[in-house]
Amino acid sequence: DPKTVVIGEVGLGGEVRSVPRIERRIKEAINMGFTSCILPKRNFKGLSEALAQKITLRGIEYVEEAIVLK
């Protein structure tokens, strides 16, 4: 989906690692017109409810999880 942004660091084993300043990155994605965000599950925890109301958030642990998301 062209309105989905993917944020995170991918390890050699396909694991999706957390990244710093996740709320700032998501806010910028919203400003750019993205409506959905796939991000590391570790970053997903603790995000503000107000942010989650502005964009669909999906936390993943491995790249293959992103492939099957619809």
What CATH number corresponds to the domain at position 9?
A: 3.30.230.10
Residues 17-69 have pLDDT tens digits of: 999 999 999 999 999 999 999 999 999 888 988 999 999 999 999 999 988 87
DSSP 12-68: TTSBEE--SSHHHHHHHHHHTT--EEEEEHHHHTT--HHHHTTSEEEEESBHHHHHH
CB contact burial 20-41 (16+ within 10 A = b; e otherwise): eebeebbeebeeeebeebbbbe
Q: How many domains does the chain have?
A: 1
Confidence of residue 1 (pLDDT cuts 50, 70, 90): confident
Confidence of residue 6 (pLDDT cuts 50, 70, 90): very high
* Segments forming the whole domain that contains residue 61: 4-68
